[in-house]
Amino acid sequence: MFNTILVPVALDHIETLTRKLDVARQLRAPEGRIIAVSVFEDIPSYVAEYAMVKPDRKKMVQEIKKAFDDALVGHDDVERVTLAGKPGVVIATYAEEIGADLIVTAASRPGSEGYALGSTASRLARRAPCSVFVIR
Protein backbone atom coordinates (compact mmCIF):
# COMPACT_ATOMS: atom_id res chain seq x y z
CA MET A 1 0.00 0.00 0.00
CA PHE A 2 1.15 3.52 -0.79
CA ASN A 3 0.77 6.63 1.34
CA THR A 4 1.10 9.45 -1.20
CA ILE A 5 0.04 8.79 -4.77
CA LEU A 6 0.29 11.32 -7.59
CA VAL A 7 -2.06 11.06 -10.56
CA PRO A 8 -1.06 13.30 -13.49
CA VAL A 9 -4.10 14.74 -15.25
CA ALA A 10 -3.63 15.67 -18.90
CA LEU A 11 -6.74 17.58 -19.87
CA ASP A 12 -6.30 16.48 -23.49
CA HIS A 13 -6.38 12.81 -22.37
CA ILE A 14 -9.12 13.04 -19.75
CA GLU A 15 -10.54 9.67 -20.83
CA THR A 16 -7.89 7.88 -18.73
CA LEU A 17 -8.61 9.78 -15.50
CA THR A 18 -11.21 7.42 -14.02
CA ARG A 19 -9.03 4.35 -14.59
CA LYS A 20 -5.99 6.06 -13.06
CA LEU A 21 -7.99 7.13 -10.00
CA ASP A 22 -9.46 3.61 -9.62
CA VAL A 23 -5.95 2.11 -9.62
CA ALA A 24 -4.71 4.76 -7.18
CA ARG A 25 -7.59 4.03 -4.80
CA GLN A 26 -6.85 0.30 -4.90
CA LEU A 27 -3.18 0.91 -4.08
CA ARG A 28 -3.68 3.65 -1.48
CA ALA A 29 -3.01 2.87 2.18
CA PRO A 30 -6.02 3.36 4.51
CA GLU A 31 -4.77 6.79 5.63
CA GLY A 32 -3.06 7.56 2.32
CA ARG A 33 -3.73 10.43 -0.01
CA ILE A 34 -4.21 10.82 -3.74
CA ILE A 35 -3.09 14.04 -5.37
CA ALA A 36 -4.20 14.87 -8.91
CA VAL A 37 -1.60 17.01 -10.67
CA SER A 38 -2.26 19.16 -13.72
CA VAL A 39 0.67 20.87 -15.38
CA PHE A 40 0.31 24.11 -17.31
CA GLU A 41 2.91 24.36 -20.05
CA ASP A 42 3.89 27.92 -20.84
CA ILE A 43 4.07 28.94 -24.47
CA PRO A 44 7.77 29.21 -25.33
CA SER A 45 8.92 32.83 -25.46
CA TYR A 46 10.15 32.46 -29.04
CA VAL A 47 6.62 31.43 -30.10
CA ALA A 48 4.81 34.03 -28.02
CA GLU A 49 7.05 36.75 -29.43
CA TYR A 50 5.76 36.11 -32.95
CA ALA A 51 2.16 35.28 -32.09
CA MET A 52 -0.42 37.45 -33.82
CA VAL A 53 -2.49 37.55 -30.63
CA LYS A 54 -0.70 37.69 -27.30
CA PRO A 55 -2.03 34.97 -24.99
CA ASP A 56 -3.61 36.09 -21.72
CA ARG A 57 -1.66 33.80 -19.37
CA LYS A 58 -3.83 34.58 -16.34
CA LYS A 59 -7.02 33.76 -18.25
CA MET A 60 -5.51 30.55 -19.66
CA VAL A 61 -4.46 29.39 -16.18
CA GLN A 62 -7.97 30.11 -14.85
CA GLU A 63 -9.53 28.13 -17.70
CA ILE A 64 -7.18 25.20 -17.13
CA LYS A 65 -7.92 25.19 -13.38
CA LYS A 66 -11.67 25.24 -14.10
CA ALA A 67 -11.38 22.34 -16.57
CA PHE A 68 -9.23 20.49 -14.02
CA ASP A 69 -11.79 21.03 -11.24
CA ASP A 70 -14.64 20.05 -13.59
CA ALA A 71 -12.84 16.81 -14.47
CA LEU A 72 -12.55 15.95 -10.77
CA VAL A 73 -16.17 16.62 -9.80
CA GLY A 74 -17.34 13.74 -7.60
CA HIS A 75 -13.80 12.76 -6.62
CA ASP A 76 -13.85 14.46 -3.23
CA ASP A 77 -11.12 12.19 -1.84
CA VAL A 78 -8.62 13.57 -4.35
CA GLU A 79 -6.47 16.62 -3.63
CA ARG A 80 -5.71 18.97 -6.52
CA VAL A 81 -2.46 20.70 -7.48
CA THR A 82 -1.70 22.80 -10.56
CA LEU A 83 1.93 23.35 -11.54
CA ALA A 84 3.73 25.07 -14.43
CA GLY A 85 6.47 23.70 -16.66
CA LYS A 86 7.29 20.53 -18.59
CA PRO A 87 4.99 17.79 -17.20
CA GLY A 88 7.47 14.92 -16.89
CA VAL A 89 10.09 17.07 -15.20
CA VAL A 90 7.74 19.07 -12.97
CA ILE A 91 5.79 16.03 -11.74
CA ALA A 92 8.98 14.10 -10.92
CA THR A 93 10.34 17.11 -9.02
CA TYR A 94 7.06 17.59 -7.15
CA ALA A 95 6.97 13.87 -6.26
CA GLU A 96 10.40 14.21 -4.68
CA GLU A 97 9.47 17.42 -2.83
CA ILE A 98 6.43 15.88 -1.14
CA GLY A 99 7.83 12.38 -0.68
CA ALA A 100 5.35 10.65 -2.99
CA ASP A 101 5.81 6.90 -3.09
CA LEU A 102 3.84 6.19 -6.29
CA ILE A 103 2.80 7.90 -9.51
CA VAL A 104 -0.10 6.40 -11.47
CA THR A 105 -0.03 7.48 -15.11
CA ALA A 106 -1.26 6.21 -18.47
CA ALA A 107 0.57 5.11 -21.60
CA SER A 108 -0.34 6.34 -25.03
CA ARG A 109 -2.59 4.12 -27.04
CA PRO A 110 -0.75 1.77 -29.42
CA GLY A 111 0.11 3.67 -32.56
CA SER A 112 -0.59 7.01 -30.91
CA GLU A 113 2.17 9.41 -31.86
CA GLY A 114 4.45 6.43 -32.47
CA TYR A 115 5.44 6.11 -28.82
CA ALA A 116 4.93 3.06 -26.61
CA LEU A 117 4.58 5.04 -23.39
CA GLY A 118 4.07 8.63 -24.41
CA SER A 119 6.43 11.43 -23.59
CA THR A 120 5.20 12.24 -20.07
CA ALA A 121 4.94 8.60 -18.96
CA SER A 122 8.36 7.90 -20.42
CA ARG A 123 9.94 10.88 -18.65
CA LEU A 124 8.32 9.90 -15.37
CA ALA A 125 9.56 6.32 -15.69
CA ARG A 126 13.11 7.66 -16.11
CA ARG A 127 13.10 10.60 -13.67
CA ALA A 128 10.67 9.85 -10.85
CA PRO A 129 12.14 9.26 -7.40
CA CYS A 130 9.42 6.71 -6.69
CA SER A 131 7.62 3.81 -8.35
CA VAL A 132 5.60 4.58 -11.48
CA PHE A 133 2.52 2.49 -12.29
CA VAL A 134 1.68 2.81 -15.99
CA ILE A 135 -1.78 1.73 -17.14
CA ARG A 136 -2.75 1.08 -20.71
Output the tens digit of pLDDT for each of the chain's 136 residues: 999 999 999 888 889 999 999 999 999 999 999 999 999 876 666 555 665 556 677 887 788 889 989 999 999 999 999 999 999 999 999 999 999 999 999 987 655 554 555 688 888 999 999 999 999 8
> Domain containing 42: what range?
2-135
> Domain holding 8: CATH number?
3.40.50.620
Closest CA to 103 of 115, 119, 89, 91: 91
DSSP assigned state of 13: G
Residues 6+ apart with CB under 8 A from 54: 48
Number of domains comprising the chain: 1
The CB-side HSE value for 132 (13 A sphere, CA atoms) comes to: 22
